[in-house]
Amino acid sequence: MERRVDVDALLDWYGETARDLPWRHRGVTAWQILMSEIMLQQTPVVRVEPIWREWVARWPVPSAMASSSQAEVLRAWGKLGYPRRALRLHECARVLTEQHGDEVPEDVEVLLGLPGIGAYTARAVACFAYGQRVPVVDTNVRRVIARAVHGRGDAGNPSTRDLAEAEALLPTHIGRAATFSAALMELGATVCTARRPDCERCPLPECAWVRAGRPAADVVRRAQKYEGTDRQARGRLLDVLRTASGPVERVRLDMAWTRDTGQRNRALDSLLVDGLIEQTDDGLFALAGEGGASA
């Protein structure tokens, strides 16, 4: 890679301006960082922070969550979206309790073997919880590298090259490398944003994209709508069950989404397939793990 990112400039900027996020504080455990990383996937910090604080108080260690039911975890997840993440985290807590001594492992390959832990999350935990020198690549990091190093307006689709390119930028010193990864991500999240990059605030003295005249992205990405989607329908149905004290009749779910019967049926079927809800022997519907309440 010909061009590099100015490590000292980026680290100085991060030390002065980094957001005071609670999962960055001293004393936060690897389990608590893992919870934050799962919650932050496709969800803004402002929505995650209050829920994360509640979860840390309620489930400070994996065994605490493992001893709770799936339904309890789903209710606590609230409206963070993509609730399958909550179920996978509950499953992960059980595995950590039973197979890893109630601790989150340090090794990336071991982390990758845990339920719901993908390539990004495994490396994020290794880096941010244990200070390891491993590349951590999310959308923000890919965008900064695309612009500062390659002069492109957009990172394009994820590639097998992403990890290697990020690793090539890491400082050799392990402690600086972990902070650098956090700083690179912070730069993309707060300054080098997708829609309105604030180049005046960028700490990098050199940027290939700026030098090239800030060419437009090759692909214009459309914002995903939510109103009227299957996701919204699923959310409405889940809301009914989250607020219920036990299994409910089908009519309660039917009333929650009346605009499109076919879409409602499709949403209900997908919730059953995903294991987020279940149907009792007598035809009622409940959150995962609560279907036996009516027996």
The token duo for 103 is: 């601790």
Which distant-in-sequence residues (6+ apart) come within 8 Å of 185 by Cβ?
136, 138, 140, 141
Q: Which residues pair with 3 in a beta bridge?
A: none
The token duo for 241 is: 């069950």
Question: Mapped to the 3 state alphabet, what secondary structure does 47-81 carry?
Answer: HHHHHHHHHHHHCCCHHHHHCCCHHHHHHHHCCCC
What does the alpha-carbon distance between residue 64 and residue 56 come to, in Å, rounded to a whole number?
Answer: 10
Distance of CA 75 to CAs 240, 277, 280, Å?
11, 12, 19
Phi-psi group of 198: left, alpha or beta (phi > 0 → left; psi -120 to 50 → alpha; rest → beta) = beta
User: Is 91 a known active-site residue?
Assistant: no
In DSSP notation, 96-159 reads HHHHSTTS--S-HHHHHTSTT--HHHHHHHHHHTT--------HHHHHHHHHHTT--S---S--
Indicate which residue of 2, 16, 37, 227 is catalytic. 37
* Residues known to be catalytic: 37
